[in-house]
Chain A
Amino acid sequence: MNILVCISQAPDTTSRIAFTNGDKEFDTNGVQFIVNPYDEWYALVRALELKEAGGGTVTTLTVGDASTDPVIRKALAIGADAAVRVDFKPTDSMQTARLIAAHAEGKGYDLILCGKETIDYNGSVVPGMVAALLDLPYVALGTKLEVANGVATVMREVTGGEEEVEVTLPAVVSAAKGMAEQRIPNMRGIMSARTKPLQVEAGAADAATVVRTFSLPEDKGSCKMIPADQAEELIRLLREEAKVI
């Protein structure tokens, strides 16, 4: 089975969030970029497990400029066989989706796996767009994924529970917590990642949305402390002051 895993970079969770260029762009100054956790921990690792069990290849695809190469090497160190980077810096999810679909078209991937969202823009839309552009079935928010005889069985999150669904491959699946466990790359993986192929393709697509400005939320006022022996006072405040109960 040949699997394509879409890999995005994202700022480390502890990064300071600030903006530049008239609050139109994220300020990457001093920011440590990581592989988006949903792409790495769940989508990539599950792809590797499926390959280890049933053979095939795992290729990663990233839409980004050369600054994304370190996270691509990390994905190769974890165990992907090869990587493709579409050399384009997207500002909108439709651009990313169109470039992923353009790469995947006609390549015969059995499965396209993506994280359920990135931890920076939290859009949760690229995998669904890729599926629609390629006219493939799409299962969102998968927490378990098994493949047998060309059919994927996926557990997916739905409101109030989980659903077990079946889909004949090829298909697009987005990965949520539970699909796999994080893997730490070992020294052999890190060494071999240096010589694995990272193919760079040209590409461009129009944006369907534009960020006018970013802003930061107002600071919360200070926390009102209530003595533990007057805990019942909290309930009065929640009803009469905050009016939430």
Chain B
Amino acid sequence: MIASITLKDGLATKGSLEAASYAVALAKAEGTEAVAVVHGPLKGDGGLGATGIAKVLHYADELQDAGQIAKLVAAAASGSSVILAHDAVGRAVAPAVAVHLNAGLVSGVTELPSSGAVRRNVFSGKAMADVEVATGKAVYTVTPNTFPVAADGGVAAVEAFQAEVGEARVKVKAFHASSADGQVPLPEAELVVSAGRGLKGPENWGIVEDLASALGATTACSRPVADIGWRPHHEHVGQTGVAIRPNLYIAAGISGAIQHLAGVNQSKVIVVINTDPEAPFFKAADYGIVGDAFEVLPKLTAAVKALEA
């Protein structure tokens, strides 16, 4: 079993730690061991031993072209199945790995395989599919925030690894960070506070940011709010924006159109705050408050701070 890992500052990203933990659990079920393949500067074992990874194959150069990463992973995988995170890197790399290995690919899995089939969400979270892989090997990408990171392992052995990955054909020229300082990127976030047109204007977002900051949550918004420029596009969660799966999603002043629900319906707990008791979002919510976000959000912020004090 091979886990394809993305490093940031020498350590595996959260999505990659989830993929590694998934690979370890799957390897255990199949009576084999899980090996991670990484590229670029590495600190220690990259935090991978703790997830139960036995060995880390380390390719020294950092690769930014998905085609090169796929060749590296395919070289490491000869004969094994491959697990990746269903993040921006995994989405680009996994299809090419599947082609190189001639393996069936199931993207966005949410559970470990059970009696020969693996579960993924389809129809934007409105249904699930149990998928069988018809080839000997499988490639899975793991949906962020669905598989817990294991921490009961030890230290992984690091081994230098060489492979023929060819020239970089996609060259990175610049990076523009979108997340505010200290915020977890939306696809990885466990807590999200989101707001919509009910906030009446971009100048009122302070109360959303205050609650998010008290909770250590990431801020998000509905599509109309991004489209009219109140909030940046990368904050838009929904069908055409980012699909998220946090443990807690708090939505204030969002009515809950079906396109919005498609991006957030996998959240474990949904809280809806809306002045309109008939807002369709309440039907998809676990907790609801009929009330004015301008009054409710500051109260919630104060209650969170009181709890932590």
Q: Are the C-beta atoms of A128 and B127 separated by less than 8 Å?
A: no
Interface residues of B in 196-244 (CB under 8 A from A): 215, 233-234, 236, 239-241
Interface centre among B66, B187, B248, B272 (most CB of A within 10 A): B66
> CB of B134 within 8 A of chain A?
yes
Q: Which residues in A have their C-beta under 8 angstroms from that of B234? A: 157, 161-162
Q: Mark A158-194, 1 if CB is under 8 A from B, else 0.
A: 1111111111100100000110000000000000000
Complex: chain B residue closest to A231, CB-CB:
B299
Q: How many residues of B contact A (CB 8 A)?
A: 95
Q: Are the C-beta atoms of B100 and A132 separated by less than 8 Å?
A: yes
Q: Are the C-beta atoms of B175 and A234 separated by less than 8 Å?
A: no
Q: Mark B71-111, 1 if CB is under 8 A from A, else 0.
A: 00000000000000011110111111011101111111000
> CB of A225 within 8 A of chain B?
yes
Q: Which residues in A have their C-beta under 8 angstroms from that of B87? A: 159
Among candidates B89, B91, B135, B233, residue contacting A177 with C-beta atoms closer than 8 Å: B233
Q: Are the C-beta atoms of B66 and A128 separated by less than 8 Å?
A: yes
Q: Which residues in B have their C-beta under 8 angstroms from that of A177? A: 233, 236, 240-241
Give the distance to chain A from B135, nearest Cβ to Cβ, in Å: 5
Q: Are the C-beta atoms of A207 and B286 separated by less than 8 Å?
A: no
Q: Are the C-beta atoms of B259 and A234 separated by less than 8 Å?
A: no
> CB of A33 within 8 A of chain B?
no
Q: Are the C-beta atoms of B258 and A234 separated by less than 8 Å?
A: no
Interface residues of B in 246-276 (CB under 8 A from A): 247-248, 258-259, 262, 268-269, 271-272
Q: Are the C-beta atoms of B269 and A141 separated by less than 8 Å?
A: no
Q: Which residues in A have their C-beta under 8 angstroms from that of B296? A: 228, 231
Q: Mark B127-154, 1 if CB is under 8 A from A, else 0.
A: 1111111110000000000000000000
Q: Are the C-beta atoms of A228 and B290 separated by less than 8 Å?
A: yes
Complex: chain B residue closest to A134, CB-CB:
B99
Q: Mark A117-131, 1 if CB is under 8 A from B, else 0.
A: 001111111111101
Q: Are the C-beta atoms of A168 and B169 separated by less than 8 Å?
A: yes
Task: Give the complex CA separation of A93 and B233 in angstroms.
Answer: 29
Q: Given A226-B289, A239-B307, A245-B191, is A160 in contact with B300 using a C-beta cutoff of 8 Å?
A: no
Q: Which residues in B have their C-beta under 8 angstroms from that of A225? A: 287-290
Task: Give the complex CA separation of A159 and B13 in angstroms.
Answer: 10
> CB of B172 within 8 A of chain A?
yes
Q: Which residues in B have their C-beta under 8 angstroms from that of A167? A: 169-171
Q: Given A125-B105, A129-B98, is A232 in contact with B300 using a C-beta cutoff of 8 Å?
A: yes
Interface hit among A52-60, A63-71, A195-203, A209-217: A209-217
Q: Are the C-beta atoms of A121 and B170 separated by less than 8 Å?
A: no
Interface residues of A in 96-144 (CB under 8 A from B): 97, 116, 119-129, 131-133, 137-141, 143
Among candidates A127, A128, A223, residue contacting B287 with C-beta atoms closer than 8 Å: A223
Give the distance to chain A from B230, nearest Cβ to Cβ, in Å: 16
Q: Are the C-beta atoms of B88 and A208 separated by less than 8 Å?
A: no
Give the distance to chain B from A168, nearest Cβ to Cβ, in Å: 7
Q: Which residues in B have their C-beta under 8 angstroms from that of A226? A: 287-289
Q: Are the C-beta atoms of A209 and B105 separated by less than 8 Å?
A: yes
Q: Which residues in B have their C-beta under 8 angstroms from that of A217? A: 125-128
Q: Are the C-beta atoms of B134 and A209 separated by less than 8 Å?
A: yes
Q: Are the C-beta atoms of A160 and B304 separated by less than 8 Å?
A: no
Q: Are the C-beta atoms of A125 and B191 separated by less than 8 Å?
A: no
Q: Are the C-beta atoms of A159 and B98 separated by less than 8 Å?
A: no
> CB of A94 within 8 A of chain B?
yes
Q: Are the C-beta atoms of B105 and A208 separated by less than 8 Å?
A: yes
Q: Which residues in A have their C-beta under 8 angstroms from that of B174? A: 163-164
Q: Given A13-B258, A161-B175, A224-B287, is A129 in contact with B185 using a C-beta cutoff of 8 Å?
A: no
What 6 A-B pairs have minimum CB-CB distances, sorted nearest first? A228-B291, A128-B95, A208-B104, A232-B303, A137-B169, A132-B96
Excluding A164-B176, A217-B126, 5 further A-B contacts by CB distance (< 8 Å) are A125-B98, A129-B99, A140-B88, A161-B175, A163-B176
29 cross-chain CB contacts under 8 A: A13-B258, A94-B105, A121-B122, A122-B123, A122-B124, A131-B95, A132-B67, A132-B70, A140-B66, A143-B233, A159-B13, A159-B88, A159-B187, A160-B179, A161-B175, A161-B176, A161-B179, A161-B234, A163-B172, A163-B173, A208-B98, A209-B134, A211-B131, A213-B130, A214-B122, A216-B128, A231-B299, A232-B306, A238-B287
Q: Could you tell me which A residues sit within 8 Å of B by CB distance?
A: 11, 13-14, 17, 19, 37-38, 41, 92-94, 97, 116, 119-129, 131-133, 137-141, 143, 153, 156-168, 171, 177-178, 206-217, 220-221, 223-228, 231-232, 234-239, 242, 244-245
